Structure formats: C-alpha cells, structure tokens
Structure 1
Amino acid sequence: MTLQLLTRYTGFDEAQFDSDAENRANAGLTPLQRWTETEGAATWILFEVNDQAKAQGWLGKAGSLGHAPESSHFLRTA
C-alpha cells in the first residue's frame, strides 16, 4: 500500500513552494496533485511519502512553504 500525505494551506505562495523542492525531496515527499478550492483561497496538496518520519519532520518546520499547513493527514491507499 502506498503512503500519502494530504495537506491544506489557506495561504499558498507558488514561488515558495518551488523553492522548497529540495527540502521536500530530502524529506521523501513527491507532489502528486494540487487543487485549489472553488470557493475560498485554500490549496490542497497530495504528496507521495517515502519516509513518514522525515515527512513528519518536514511538516514541523516553519520553513516548509513558510508556514505549517492548517491541516495534514497521512493516508494509505485502500
């Protein structure tokens, strides 16, 4: 089963996201999909996770996109 991480940001800066690519790669995260809400400014990002502990560390860093996501969920494919 594949482990994934779903995050939600109410503020999203694409330039910051692009500049964080190396940090995400070092944390074992690969972006799979990005959505924006039709009502509101929230952005959702789905990542493939290679190492949950490293991904959890990335989430805790204030530098991951400049701020932590408002919500995050580790999920496994069913």
Structure 2
Amino acid sequence: MQLLCQIDTPDYDGWKKAFDADYEERMQAGLSQLQIWRDADHGSSVLVLFEVNDRKRAQGWITREQGFGGAMTCTFLETV
C-alpha cells in the first residue's frame, strides 16, 4: 500500500528542512519515502509518495501532521 500526500507550502526550503528532520518519526509511523515532486511552475505544492508498512500508525502520523495547521491532503493507494 502507498500513501500520496499533497502539501501546500509557501516556503519550500523551510518545509524541506523540517521534513528531513522528521525522518525518524515517519519511520516510527511505518512510512518509507519513495518519491518527492515539487510543482515546477510555482513551487508551492509538494507531492510525497510513501510506502506504508502499518496503515494505523500512518493514519496517526497524518492526523498529527494535519494538526500543525498546514494544508495537507493524503490518500491511501493500492495497486490493482
């Protein structure tokens, strides 16, 4: 199972620094980063694809991240 998150951030560099510092917390949530994409035209939108090892822990991570107030939407995906 994968998780695709879209994050809207006006400060990509600041977001990326905080995201990199959060590595251990994501690992504890059962998430492995697969890919990051950035909006080539505006730079204010980021897509992150994760491999999900534990959906319940991943959902807890999403809830905590959304609690910081930034615009973030996430979708769990299955290969069919």
**Aligned CA-pair RMSD:** 2.0
Is the Cα–Cα contact under 8 Å of residues 66 and 72 in structure 2 kept in the other structure?
Answer: no
TM-score normalized with structure 1 length = 0.84
In the alignment, the residues of structure 1 paired with residue 25 and residue 69 of structure 2 have an alpha-carbon distance, to the nearest angstrom, of 14
The structure whose residues are more often helix, as a share, is 2
- Which amino acid counterpart does residue 22 of structure 2 have in structure 1? D
Query: Which portions of structure 1, spanning 4 or more consecutive aligned residues, are displaced by more than 4 angstroms?
Result: 66-69
Q: TM-score, normalised by structure 2?
A: 0.82
Residue of structure 1 equivalent to 2:50: 47
- Indicate conservation of the 8 Å contact 2:4/2:74, yes or no: yes
Structure 1 unmatched runs, 5+: none
Q: What is the identity percentage for the equivalent residue pairs of Structure 1 and Structure 2?
A: 36
Unaligned runs of 5+ in 2: none
**Count of paired positions:** 75
Q: What is the letter of the counterpart of residue 56 of structure 1?
A: Q
Matching residue within 61, 65, 72 for 2:64: 61
